């Protein structure tokens, strides 16, 4: 058993190759194999967002605070807020992040398949990001 005390693991900035804007990541679960679960608290400052991406076994997002947005490829942008839970099926191309003028913090849960839990793709354009939620 491992006990990670608050402050044991430093906050990391989301890498610019996978995120637009300022994004902070705090690990919750990074379980070694054979476990597959990973959970991360992600805080997006206003305008911050992920690139387009997919997950081989899907992803669940739980919005802790603030207001944000997500979009599945080919569908309208959706507004999200504290208390919302979003299930993203395996292989569904999507992005998520803060609203343009509000921060958003969520916990992201995903499982790895063959050691991989995410496939990163291209950045979300400003045009797609600033589209009003439908």
Determine if the pTM surpasses 0.85.
Answer: yes
**125 burial via Cβ count (<10 Å: 0-12, 13-18, 19+):** exposed
- Look at residue 31 in the predicted model and tell me its pLDDT: 87
Distances from the Cα of 45 to the Cα of 8, 23, 124, angstroms: 23, 6, 16
- Look at residue 68 in the predicted model and tell me its pLDDT: 98
- Look at residue 48 in the predicted model and tell me its pLDDT: 98
- On whether the CB atoms of residues 70 and 40 are closer than 8 A, the answer is no
- Least Cα distance to 18 among 122, 132, 127, 134 occurs for 122
Per-residue pLDDT of the chain (134 residues; tens, 9 = 90+): 889 998 899 999 999 999 999 999 999 998 888 999 999 999 999 999 999 999 999 999 999 999 999 999 999 999 999 999 999 999 999 999 999 999 999 999 999 999 899 999 999 999 999 999 98
Cα pseudo-dihedral 20, 31, 106, 8, rounded to 10: -90
Q: Residue 6 CB: number of other CB atoms within 10 A?
A: 6
Length of the chain: 134
- Least Cα distance to 100 among 44, 50, 55 occurs for 44
Taking the C-alpha atoms of residue 134 and residue 120, their distance in angstroms, rounded to an integer, is 25
Taking the C-alpha atoms of residue 19 and residue 50, their distance in angstroms, rounded to an integer, is 4
- Least Cα distance to 110 among 122, 99, 96 occurs for 96
């Amino acid at each position: 058993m491992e006990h990670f005390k608050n402050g044991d693991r430093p906050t990391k900035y989301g890498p610019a190759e996978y995120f637009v804007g300022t994004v902070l990541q705090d690990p919750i679960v990074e379980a070694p194999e054979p476990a597959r679960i990973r959970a991360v608290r992600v805080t997006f400052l206003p305008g911050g967002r992920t690139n387009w991406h997919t997950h081989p076994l899907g992803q669940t997002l739980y919005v802790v605070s603030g207001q944000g947005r997500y979009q599945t490829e080919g569908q309208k942008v959706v507004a999200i807020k504290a208390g919302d839970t979003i299930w993203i099926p395996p292989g569904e191309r999507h992005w998520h992040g803060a609203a343009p003028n509000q921060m958003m913090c969520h916990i992201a849960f995903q499982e790895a398949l063959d050691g991989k839990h995410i496939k990163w793709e291209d950045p979300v354009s400003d045009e797609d990001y600033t589209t009003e939620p439908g």
